[in-house]
């Protein structure tokens, strides 16, 4: 159980970077040797140059997408947690509500986002947030509900024995039991909020009312500015990775003292 040595840690950090570098070099070589025109496939070097050159346009776009994602994610976390806690109060509430949570989950967002955008044509931002929220909500609900219902049976008996109130049982037993599940749900939901925001932006983009990253990608592809489109994709990927890393760090920090998933091996 000794912590990994410095060499091992360095290797763990270097290995994925090295693999990525090899892939990029191969990509660049393939593009150059085969003389692939940039409007079909730009090399990574050109994408990097475009990223720097178009930064003044891309950065505000990144900000817009990030804002939609974060607001939708926050809304999904708060509403998902509240709904899960409501459903945990009685099997009846759960049986009544859960089917609708599943229906929400199965709605194809690309199909309904035009409607939502039309309904809320006065606030595209709100429409996009709602689209992303619909996509991000379900993992929080399903994971938290599972967690709230998986409190140890003996501990539940113990709480009954000591006449714990419903609130005390929720506060001291069911919420802590649900925490690892909830945090796993956040990691799924964070990525989905971004996907929801991007998909909704694509749909709204043709209206030209917004300037998020997906809109930039869409415009770039219309104008055959393929390097710029790739630069936008790179930024969205980085955003997704960033969200995942932050949520993983949060999960580790909260579970470190006690949960198997956060223990050093």
Partner 1 sequence: MTLTLDRITKTFDNGVAALQETSLTLAPGEFVSFVGPSGCGKSTLLRIVAGLTAPSTGRVDWGAGMEPPDLAFVFQEPALMPWATVADNLGLPLRLAGRPRHQVRSAIADALRLVGLEGFRQAYPRQLSGGMKMRVSIARALVTDPQVLLMDEPFGALDDITRTQLNEDLLTLWGEQGWTVLFVTHNLYEAVLLSGRVMVMSPRPGRITADIVIDSPQPRSPSFCNSPAYTAYCQQVATALGAAMAEGASRAVLSP
Summarize as ranges the residues that interact with partner 1 (CB under 8 A). Answer: 152, 154-155, 157-164, 168, 172-173, 176, 179, 257-259, 263
Decide if 128 contacts 210 (C-beta within 8 A): yes
Structure tokens at 210: 């917004």
CB of 149 to partner 1, least distance (A): 17
Q: Which is nearer to partner 1, 102 or 253 (CB)?
A: 253
CB of 255 to partner 1, least distance (A): 8
CB of 171 to partner 1, least distance (A): 10
CB of 158 to partner 1, least distance (A): 6
Residue showing tokens 């967690």: 147
C-alpha atoms less than 13 angstroms from C-alpha of 89 in its C-beta half-sphere: 9
CB of 168 to partner 1, least distance (A): 6
Residue showing tokens 């609130």: 167
Q: Which is nearer to partner 1, 92 or 162 (CB)?
A: 162
CB of 28 to partner 1, least distance (A): 49
Q: Which is nearer to partner 1, 2 or 154 (CB)?
A: 154
∠ Cα 112 113 115 (to 5°): 70
Could you tell me if residue 165 is left (phi over 0), alpha (psi between -120 and 50 degrees) or otherwise beta? Answer: beta
Q: Which is nearer to partner 1, 48 or 179 (CB)?
A: 179
Decide if 241 contacts 188 (C-beta within 8 A): no
Q: Which is nearer to partner 1, 138 or 181 (CB)?
A: 181
| Polymer length of the chain | 265
Distance from C-alpha of 208 to C-alpha of 155, rounded to nearest angstrom: 56
CB of 40 to partner 1, least distance (A): 54
Secondary structure of the chain: what % helix, strand, coil (to 5)? 80, 0, 20
Q: Which is nearer to partner 1, 47 or 183 (CB)?
A: 183
Residue 218 makes CB contacts below 8 A (sequence gap 6+) with: 201, 202, 205, 206
Burial of 145 (0-12, 13-18, 19+ CB in 10 A): buried
Q: Which is nearer to partner 1, 57 or 155 (CB)?
A: 155
């Amino acid at each position: 159980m000794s912590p990994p040595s410095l060499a091992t840690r360095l290797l763990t950090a270097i290995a994925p970077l090295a693999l990525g570098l090899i892939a990029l070099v191969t990509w660049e070589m393939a593009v150059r040797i085969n003389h692939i025109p940039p409007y079909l496939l730009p090399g990574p070097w050109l994408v990097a140059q475009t990223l720097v050159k178009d930064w003044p346009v891309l950065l505000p776009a990144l900000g817009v997408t990030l804002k939609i994602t974060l607001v939708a994610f926050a809304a999904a976390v708060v509403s998902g947690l509240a709904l899960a806690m409501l459903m945990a109060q009685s099997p009846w509430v759960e049986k009544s509500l859960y089917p609708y949570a599943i229906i929400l989950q199965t709605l194809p967002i690309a199909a309904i986002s035009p409607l939502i955008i039309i309904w809320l044509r006065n606030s595209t931002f709100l429409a996009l947030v709602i689209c992303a929220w619909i996509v991000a909500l379900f993992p929080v609900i399903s994971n938290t509900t599972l967690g709230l219902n998986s409190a140890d049976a003996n501990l539940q008996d113990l709480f009954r024995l000591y006449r714990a109130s419903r609130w005390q049982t929720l506060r001291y037993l069911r919420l802590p039991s649900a925490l690892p599940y909830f945090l796993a749900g956040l990691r799924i939901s964070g990525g989905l909020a971004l996907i929801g925001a991007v998909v909704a932006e694509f749909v709204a983009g043709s209206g030209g009312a917004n300037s998020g990253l997906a809109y930039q990608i869409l415009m770039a592809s219309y104008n055959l500015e393929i390097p710029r489109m790739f630069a936008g994709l790179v930024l969205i990927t980085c955003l997704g990775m960033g969200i995942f890393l932050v949520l993983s760090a949060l999960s580790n920090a909260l579970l470190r003292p006690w949960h198997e998933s956060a223990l050093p091996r």
